Amino acid sequence: GLWLWRRQAVMAASEEDEEEKELRQRFMAPPVSGLRELRRRRRELRTRMELLIMETQAEVCRALAALDPGAAFAVDTWERKEGGGGISCVLQDGEVFEKAGVNVSVVFGHLSEEAARQMRSRGKSLKAKDGKLPFCAMGVSSVIHPKNPHIPTMHFNYRYFEIEEADGTKQWWFGGGTDLTPTYLNEEDAVHFHKTLKEACDKHDLKLYPKYKKWCDDYFFIEHRGERRGIGGIFFDDVDSPSKEEVFQFVKSCAKAVVPCYIPIVKRHCHDSFTPEEKLWQQLRRGRYVEFNLVYDRGTKFGLLTPGSRIESILMSLPLTARWEYMHTPPESSKEAEILEVLRNPKDWVH
């Protein structure tokens, strides 16, 4: 009996080693929670979400690296002393991408009073115990700034949040989205991008794409400029129905749509020629990107308010270069004026 037990233990250990090896090959780095912990909680949604964000990070990084073979992602793992940590993958100064970052973070601990206040202002009734609110937040987020002004900038983010209230009940919700910020308008690209996201949404409910497309146009609005940051996509936050499993499956479909909605656009334009004037316009548009991220973006604000958060990862979304010119106005009926028109008046790209 003892011999059999030992043999089973050895087999189980070697199976674990195989599984560990396979997971390491699949990801850019070992998961934040550790493979043993993930295996222990494998049926929990938190675990499945962590595996999904790790997979998404690896998928996107590999797809981008394949288009920019001279460049490599620096993989940077970090720990947060208050609990959790993350993996930042950043490619800089490639041939195709000036800066591309894909971050994963899994953090837990107690919500700061400032972060809790921000959530309550969005209608969350959070009952703290002795002033403390245990939370767990995880997500994958990415911003890709290409060199060529004919390749749009792309951003995506998918996240899960869980809070334990004073009486032990858990509140949970998902948020996320994928959006495109072109320097110049290309209708074919815009239609492809929106159609791919619509297909991902339609698998779950036909009402989701129009609702989240509008939410995206409203959210990425630079109020002081009266224009959107880009041509949108989808955006949602605080989603906690119909059920945890159904929302998770929807988020998974959206995450799996990132590569097919963007990579074909990069391939289409990576050899386009461009003029110094077009490059200048790209720099000015990037200035607007920075303005939105620093003034309005909820994720940036939340990150900056969370104790022990990693500033380098939060500000990874900013481009390497941008420009602010005094009173710059493009000539009427120019290609530059064309994109501004769409940013001021969002279009329906799929009907």
* DSSP, res 220: T
Q: Which residues share a beta bridge with 89?
A: 75, 102
Q: 180, 152 in Cβ contact below 8 A?
A: yes
Tokens of 228: 């959107």
Largest CA distance in the chain: 86
Position 350: which residue type?
V
The 10 Å Cβ neighbour count of residue 170 is: 10
- Based on the residue annotation, tell me whether 155 is a catalytic residue of this protein: yes
Q: Which residues share a beta bridge with 99?
A: 92, 145
Q: 50, 31 in Cβ contact below 8 A?
A: yes
The 10 Å Cβ neighbour count of residue 13 is: 10
Q: 88, 78 in Cβ contact below 8 A?
A: yes
* Residues whose CB is less than 8 angstroms from the CB of residue 241 and which lie 6 or more positions away in sequence, other chains included: 247
**Residue 187, phi-psi category: left (phi > 0), alpha (psi -120 to 50), beta (remainder):** alpha
Rg of the chain, C-alpha, whole Å = 21
Tokens of 300: 């940036």
Q: Which H helix or E strand runs over 101?
A: strand 97-110
* Residues whose CB is less than 8 angstroms from the CB of residue 85 and which lie 6 or more positions away in sequence, other chains included: 32, 77, 78, 79, 105, 106, 107
Please identify which of the residues 110, 145, 150, 155 carries the catalytic annotation. Answer: 155
Q: 57, 77 in Cβ contact below 8 A?
A: no
Catalytic residues: 155
